[in-house]
């Protein structure tokens, strides 16, 4: 059995995902953690896939 698997809740559990560059169509690889991009990726064409800031919980109150 792999001891490294099944470690839910680890903040460093990054997932490698792919998407097509909206500018040139090249496949970009990026890491996500809990559905958000954790590292900025720059495509060869110059397009920058920005990392997304953590949104742990809403701070502003509506109304
Ligand atoms: Zn591109």
pLDDT tens digits for 18-54? Answer: 999 999 999 999 999 888 999 999 999 999 999 988 7
Rounded to whole angstroms, the Cα distance separating 23 from 46 reads 9
Separation of 16 CA from ligand 1 center, angstroms?
Answer: 18
What is the side-by-side strand order in the sheet with 36-37? Answer: 15-20, 27-33, 36-37
Over residues 3-13, mean pLDDT: 61
Rounded to whole angstroms, the Cα distance separating 47 from 1 reads 41
pTM above 0.95, yes or no: no
Separation of 9 CA from ligand 1 center, angstroms?
Answer: 33
Separation of 29 CA from ligand 1 center, angstroms?
Answer: 11
């Amino acid at each position: 059995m792999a001891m490294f698997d099944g470690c839910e809740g680890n903040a460093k559990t990054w997932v490698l995902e792919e998407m097509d560059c909206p500018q040139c169509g090249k496949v970009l690889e990026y890491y996500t953690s809990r559905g958000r991009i954790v590292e900025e990726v720059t495509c060869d064409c110059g397009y920058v896939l920005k990392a997304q800031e953590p949104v742990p919980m809403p701070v502003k109150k509506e109304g």
